[in-house]
Amino acid sequence: MTTAARANLRVGVDIGGSKIAVLVVDPEDRVCVRRVAPAASADPDAAISQIAAAIRDAVGEAGATLDDVRAIGLGVPGRVDTASGDVTFAVNLGWHHLPLGRRLAEELGVRCVVENDVRAAAVGLHRDRLASGERPIDDLVFLGIGTGISAGVILDGRLHRGVRGLAGEIGHVVLDRDGAACACGLRGCFETIAAGAGIARAAREAVEAARDGDPTSLADLDDPTAEDVFRAAEAGDRAAIRIVDRAADAIARMVHELVLAYDVELVVIGGGISRAGAPLLERVQAGLDRIGAPSPFAAELLAETDVRLVGPDHDIGTRGAIALLGAAVEGVVAREAVG
């Protein structure tokens, strides 16, 4: 029983800017172990060792060895060549052309599948919905809002990557041409208004303005983060509320654009911003209501679209990484289990 229960495990790894999250599940998708390790190094060799150690530790904690692991899925915040498993570019990790999949497979002797983290999350949402026995949703967007912004898009039940693997790079849609400079070179990109770095920049501007007589509790903080801004807004700080409202309004506008472009029925907002929780979702919903108020067409479309925020402790990243392993691997597992 113990041997059987610990065979054919699958491992999902979510490599974030602040931590490495690992999830180990059994063939029935039950969670064996959930584990978090410190963020990966920018140095390739050190990063491979850290990630391999995090996986080994999690598998060991599950009372198993790597021989019991069928495959490992990894979500990475950056551009990924899914055919080779190479990470082409992951700006927040400092990686450039890292053959992550091959190096880890060599190191661990287990097949590894690598994908962009936001896309992996979208695949996971789609698969979890199928697995849950609920009505399947084959057209959905996962809107990942963290340091940057991008969307993972499932259309007709399939992940849409685009010709160059850039589909869903909507963080660089320009919402305010006179807005702040974006790292991409344009001004007023969606990212500059709603992503973590953009909100932190707006907080610095608010602190500057406070010196000119527009007081804000953010001025009491040393280099306020997006989380500080959300917390201050909840506490009633007017400058913080303005920043959060502007971000929520931009998110609502982009949800409207995404629904017009893709005609999906579910938009799930995740990434670091999801820690702002229900108050943020309420402000986004207020933005959607403002768009729908004068337009029966927009109102109907948005009313038919389910807009949600990922819960605080949801394993969306790691479950998405496991979902990458998909039906093919599971088919093999099922066949070998019979033999």
- For strands 79-81 and 69-76, give the pairing: unpaired
Q: Residue 190 in contact with residue 170, Cβ under 8 Å?
A: yes
167 in contact with its own copies (CB under 8 A): yes
Question: What is the smallest separation between the CB atom of 276 and its own copies, expressed in angstroms?
Answer: 24
166 in contact with its own copies (CB under 8 A): yes
Question: What is the smallest separation between the CB atom of 210 and its own copies, expressed in angstroms?
Answer: 28
The one segment of 18-26, 179-187, 238-246, 307-315 that binds its own copies by CB under 8 A: 179-187
Q: Which of 28, 30, 236, 297 binds its own copies (CB under 8 A)?
A: 297
Q: Residue 150 in contact with residue 166, Cβ under 8 Å?
A: no
Q: Which of 5, 7, 36, 174 binds its own copies (CB under 8 A)?
A: 174
Q: From CA 131, how far away is CA 129, in angstroms rounded?
A: 5
Beta partners for 34?
23
Question: What is the smallest separation between the CB atom of 253 and its own copies, expressed in angstroms?
Answer: 7
- For strands 69-76 and 111-116, give the pairing: parallel
* Closest CA relative to residue 23, chosen from 230, 300, 322: 322
Reading the block at residue 292, the tokens are 């729908």
Nearer to its own copies, 97 or 158 (CB): 158
For residue 215, the tally of other CB atoms under 10 A from its CB is 13
22 in contact with its own copies (CB under 8 A): no
Beta partners for 90?
95
Interface with its own copies: number of residues (CB under 8 A): 43
Q: Which of 294, 312, 313, 327 binds its own copies (CB under 8 A)?
A: 294
For residue 237, the tally of other CB atoms under 10 A from its CB is 21
Q: Which of 172, 231, 246, 319 binds its own copies (CB under 8 A)?
A: 172
Contacting its own copies within 237-256 (CB under 8 A): 253, 256
Per-residue CA distances from 142 to 26, 37, 125, 192 (Å): 25, 25, 8, 19
83 in contact with its own copies (CB under 8 A): no
Q: Residue 186: which H helix or E strand, with range?
A: none
> How many degrees, rounded to 5, is the angle at CA 142 between CA 138 and CA 146?
175
Nearer to its own copies, 57 or 257 (CB): 257
Nearer to its own copies, 174 or 281 (CB): 174
- For strands 31-38 and 69-76, give the pairing: unpaired
Q: From CA 70, how far away is CA 27, in angstroms rounded?
A: 10
Question: What is the smallest separation between the CB atom of 170 and its own copies, expressed in angstroms?
Answer: 6
Q: From CA 93, how far away is CA 77, in angstroms rounded?
A: 8
Nearer to its own copies, 210 or 291 (CB): 291
Amino acid found at 178: D
301 in contact with its own copies (CB under 8 A): yes
Question: What is the smallest separation between the CB atom of 154 and its own copies, expressed in angstroms?
Answer: 11
Q: Which of 7, 36, 91, 155 binds its own copies (CB under 8 A)?
A: 155
Question: What is the smallest separation between the CB atom of 272 and its own copies, expressed in angstroms?
Answer: 21
- Chain positions contacting its own copies, by CB under 8 A: 138-139, 151, 155-156, 158, 160-170, 172-174, 182, 184-187, 253, 256-258, 260-265, 291, 294-298, 301, 304
